[in-house]
Amino acid sequence: MNNMNWLAVYPEVALLLMASAIAMLDLFVKDPARRPTYWLTQLTLAVVAGVHWVYFQDGQTVYAMQGMVVSDPMGHLLAFCACVATIVTLVYARPYAASRELLKGELFSLTLFSLLGICVMLSANNFLVIYLGLELMSLSLYALVALRRDHLLSTEAAMKYFVLGALASGFLLYGLSMMYGATGSLSIPQVFDVISIGVPNKSVLIFGTVFVVAGLGFKLGAAPFHMWVPDVYQGSPTGVTLLIAAAPKLAAFAITVRLLVEGMMGLAVDWQQMLIVLALTSLFVGNFVAIAQTNLKRMLAYSTIAQMGFMLLGLASGVVNDNTLSAANAYSSAMYYVIVYVMTTLGTFGMILLLSRQGHEAEEISDLAGLAKRSPWYATVMTIFMLSLAGVPPTAGFYAKFSILQALIGTHVMGYTALAVVAVAVSLIGAYYYLRVIKVMFFDEPTDRAPLSAPTDVRMVMSLNGAAVLIFGILPGGLMALCASAIVKTLAT
């Protein structure tokens, strides 16, 4: 049993050791392209991803470190996706970083430390472990945003991210401390048991839940806790923006499920209403404000806010009528949605990285003008990503939105059907700014007619990324089944 406990935390231990080793190794690397450091980082990520996939296929739930860590299917599937997302991010970001003197050991070691924080959050079974993982991820990302020390916007973005991130952590920590005070435990299963049997100080629990949901809203980038998202997305080096926009969303989803579903299900009536408010506010703020944006990174930031609103609708619909099958369907739909969002986000920011060149940041929508004339293939791939974000068939984004709407309507509650109608209406309005990007690519005249060139690995990964978004839209059953299996096995323990 002790051996099994050690195996449960093997991926995190491997990441910790390799992140430290790569930081030390880079001191002796003389190659300006940092090839040894880069490939060792990618090899580490591939091995850790493989281990998580094997553990996921095993399907067992194992507890380690006196029950503070849990090794379960949901955590392993999301950790596998986070590792793959980080691999893809580094492939896209490497040429960009090399042209801006950002290809340093710090980029790789801090990326691994941020992924370690994500993996710790994914396997957390205790309030302290969640907070430890959250801070490890956040501090690494703060440093990565400020990596371009001579750039005013990056420095400003790092300060905003640090201050607002600290505020978010304070909200979450205060809420968790109140939950501890009311239940007398930091263990998520024990908190669930105490809340289930009923406690006298219910008002303290509800007050603590408000702060927990607010902290989660910050980390998800949901309105009205979204104020850091546009500025940080725009001000960060684009490669770092992708690190912030992709894998951390998987961790934020996981700790939302861990805290609210696995720990505070007895308070579902209260946090469910909060999630609905956050979801609707995010849908309206994200979609309507994005229409006015001319900066592509800011537009995608507001798009992220709207996408998180849609995902929260799925989480909020999982406890209606206390139907176990309906709840599992809702949570698996939300999980599918966040994975598809990460997959599409990798492609959209990857295209921005590909278009950016020495001395020029392709951050404005106008920078995509005439892309179809310069490179019909890349314009087609970018069109797939935009259609997926808009929820147009046959892309993965369409099925992701459809599954969320299905979960809402499947509750057979009139209010939730109305929520589905509102979500569709607002998304239709929001589709305008995605279609505008497609129009600029195909119908505007290019300002630069030079053909696009990219390294072979970037071309291959970009093409595979676009193909994946299309394939998971045409054949969504496989990924949806994986998400459903992970959620059912995790919540059944």
Give burial (CB, 10 Å; 0-12/13-18/19+) of 160. middle
Q: What is the pLDDT of residue 3?
A: 44
Res 470 pLDDT > 90 = yes
Total Cβ atoms within 10 A of residue 456 = 7
Q: How far apart are CA 3 and CA 129, in angstroms?
A: 21
Q: What is the pLDDT of residue 23?
A: 83
Paired tokens of 346: 């990798």
Q: What is the pLDDT of residue 325?
A: 65
Name the pTM for this structure: 0.94
pLDDT in tens, 111-153: 999 999 999 999 999 999 999 999 999 999 999 998 887 778 8
CA angle 253, 225, 188 (to 5 degrees): 40
Measure Cα distances from 419 to 281, 284, 315, 326 in Å.
12, 12, 13, 17
Paired tokens of 329: 């369907």
The H-assigned helical ranges of 295-413 are 296-316, 324-355, 371-374, 376-390, 396-409
- Give the list of residues 6+ apart from residue 59 with CB closer than 8 angstroms, or none: 73, 485, 489
Q: Mean pLDDT across the stretch 467-491?
A: 92
Measure Cα distances from 242 to 232, 370, 416, 423 in Å.
11, 24, 33, 26
- Give the list of residues 6+ apart from residue 152 with CB closer than 8 angstroms, or none: none
Paired tokens of 143: 């440093």
What dihedral do alpha carbons 194, 196, 201, 207 form, nearest 10°? 100
Give burial (CB, 10 Å; 0-12/13-18/19+) of 197. exposed
Res 476 pLDDT > 80 = yes
- Token pair 């054949």 is found at 475
Q: What is the pLDDT of residue 473?
A: 92
Hey, which residues does 364 pair with through a beta bridge? 295
Q: How far apart are CA 39 and CA 18, in angstroms?
A: 12
Kindly indicate the confidence band of residue 405, based on its pLDDT and cuts at 50, 70 and 90.
very high
pLDDT in tens, 162-184: 999 899 899 999 999 999 998 88
Of 325, 328, 337, 326, nearest in space to 472 by CA: 337
Measured in degrees and rounded to the nearest 5, phi and psi for residue 72 equal: -130, 170
Please state whether beta strands 62-64 and 69-71 pair in parallel, antiparallel, or not at all (unpaired): antiparallel
Of 211, 237, 216, 198, nearest in space to 100 by CA: 237
Total Cβ atoms within 10 A of residue 174 = 16
Peptide bond into 394 cis (omega under 30): yes
Q: Mean pLDDT across the stretch 150-159?
A: 85
* DSSP secondary structure letter of residue 445: P
Of 387, 309, 375, 386, nearest in space to 348 by CA: 386
Q: Mean pLDDT across the stretch 329-350?
A: 94
Of 393, 310, 299, 376, nearest in space to 345 by CA: 299
Q: How far apart are CA 71 and CA 357, in angstroms?
A: 42
Handedness of CA 231, 253, 91, 382 (dihedral sign): negative
